[in-house]
Amino acid sequence: MALRAVRQLVSRGKTNLAKINDITNPTSTEKRERLVILGTGWGSYSVLKTIDKNKFDVIVVSPRNHFLFTPLLCSTTVGTLEFRSVIEPVRNTIFRQPDHFHLSFATKLDIENKKIHCESVLKSELKYTIDFDKLVIGVGALSNTFNVPGVQEHSFFLKEVADARRIRNRILKNFELSVQPGIEDSEANRLLHTVIVGGGPTGVEFGAELYDFVEQDISRLYKQKKHHVNVTLVESNQILASFDESLRKYAEKKIKERDRFQLVKSIVTEVKEDCVTLSNGETIPCGMVVWSGGIAPRQFVRDLDLKKNKQGQVMTDKYLHVLGDDSKSVFAIGDCADVQDMPLPCTAQVAEREGRYLAKMLNHGKEFAEPFKFQSMGMLAYIGKYQALTDVKQIKMQGFTSWIVWRSAYLTRLGSWRLRMQVPIDWLKH
């Protein structure tokens, strides 16, 4: 019995090894279609992980060589999590050849000739084209500045690890500068005043992490400056608009109860190096502005000669084919796309589900004829002080119990076992 079990294990090992060898063997003569994936965000990464690489030669083009677990990005700005704990290198998915991943920008699409034009991130003068049989456009989106003067020059965005690193550096710089000789109290108050523009999940969760940082770390490391810290959250409508009304009111109540943390219902009309101006003419001196006010299309998407909606997103049918492509070989998913007659929120959950659906459809080919459908799994948001919101179907929770659910849910959704071990270690250390 034992010998038979060992033989079965060896046999399985040989089978798995054969599959890996088939993926990485560049001399295989089997005819495979070339699938080019643009981007390494939620949608594109979901396609990459789910696609059958025995059926496709998968080429990825992206200016970012890792997948970012965005729901926990805010935690990295204040050191609750380390940057390495929220990223997964794309090459860990195993490419058939090393040059099947391109650290490059997609600059132009030639649908008629099935070519994508690229420009290297590492060497801007290096430009080239890639042929494709199937193309997945999943380039995501930029933060929307709404053409407000000064936003691009003086604000911090929170979409990439580099953004979080810049925010962390600015926080530390402002605190260190505030305690140096010659800095007056008025200037220290300005340096330690952070303005957050946008009351969506990103704005609220960053504010929550910053509040925890002040309560737990600043009170210990910069005791004399704790009472100089102020945070202003500016939102033109209502915070966490996509959540249930009772949860929104709970979050608003908890935020208003905090010392030196205020909610302002207004519109920012200008951002300067040392202040922001509101629509009523009021000026708020500050040392940092974090902007999280919606999304806008990337230049590559703007330049595409395809049908788009009012927000500039590429329109697709219910099978995620881009409209206007008669060959049905180009797909668009995630924040850069919108499904015709099925408007969906720009969330990681939607993008991941679209990526999984698309990979399944490509794996099965013509046998697969089911249109894309989306049913939300619910929403979670951290509001600080070990309290969170849970809005999942009929379940509405808030407080400490919801915080446990929030952490548990995100822990199970991390992309690899490395991250699932690393994140709890960071939490435990914190």
Q: What pLDDT, in 10s, does the model give residues 350-386?
A: 999 999 999 999 999 877 779 999 999 999 999 999 9
Residue 30's pLDDT is what? 61
* Structure-token pair, residue 312: 């500039």
Q: How many other C-beta atoms lie within 10 A of the C-beta of residue 133? A: 14
Map tokens 């509405």 to a residue: 396
- For 333-373, strand residue ranges (E) read 337-339
- Of 360-369, 383-392, 405-414, the poorest mean pLDDT is in 360-369
The string of pLDDT tens digits covering residues 159-215 is: 999 999 999 999 999 999 999 999 999 999 999 999 999 999 999 999 999 999 999
Closest to 365 measured CA to CA, from 60, 15, 110, 32: 32
* Beta-bridge mates of residue 395: 392
User: For the chain, first and last CA: distance in Å?
Assistant: 49
Residue 415's pLDDT is what? 77
Across 275-302, average pLDDT: 96
Question: Which has more confidence, 256 or 9?
Answer: 256
- Rounded to whole angstroms, the maximal C-alpha distance in the chain is 82
- 148 DSSP assignment: -
Q: For the whole model, what pTM was predicted?
A: 0.90
The string of pLDDT tens digits covering residues 91-136 is: 999 899 999 999 999 999 999 999 999 999 999 999 999 999 999 9
- Of 31-35, 265-269, 362-366, 397-401, the poorest mean pLDDT is in 362-366
Beta pairing, strands 193-197 & 230-235:
parallel
Residue 20's pLDDT is what? 41
Domains belonging to the chain, first-starting first, are: 33-143+296-368 (3.50.50.60), 156-292+379-429 (3.50.50.100)
Cα 32 to Cα 44: distance, rounded to the nearest angstrom: 20
Residue 48's pLDDT is what? 97
Residue 170's pLDDT is what? 97
Residue 219's pLDDT is what? 82
The string of pLDDT tens digits covering residues 16-67 is: 444 444 444 444 446 899 999 999 999 999 999 999 999 999 999 999 999 9
Please work out, in degrees rounded to the nearest 5, the angle formed at the alpha carbon of residue 138 by the alpha carbons of 134 and 142: 155
**Percent share of the chain, pLDDT over 90:** 83
Q: Which residues contact 230 (CB under 8 A, 6 or more apart)?
A: 189, 192, 193, 194, 260, 261, 262
Q: What is the DSSP secondary-structure string of 4-23?
A: HHHHHHHHHHHHHHHHHHHH
Residue 31's pLDDT is what? 80
Across 382-407, average pLDDT: 94
CA distances from 286 to 121, 150, 251, 283 (A): 34, 14, 24, 9
Cα 319 to Cα 371: distance, rounded to the nearest angstrom: 5
Per the CB < 8 A criterion, the answer to whether 360 and 187 are in contact is no
Question: Which has more confidence, 191 or 430?
Answer: 191
Please work out, in degrees rounded to the nearest 5, the angle formed at the alpha carbon of residue 272 by the alpha carbons of 162 and 221: 55
Stretch (H or E) spanning 314? strand 314-316
pLDDT interval class at 74 (50, 70, 90)? very high
The string of pLDDT tens digits covering residues 281-290 is: 999 999 999 9
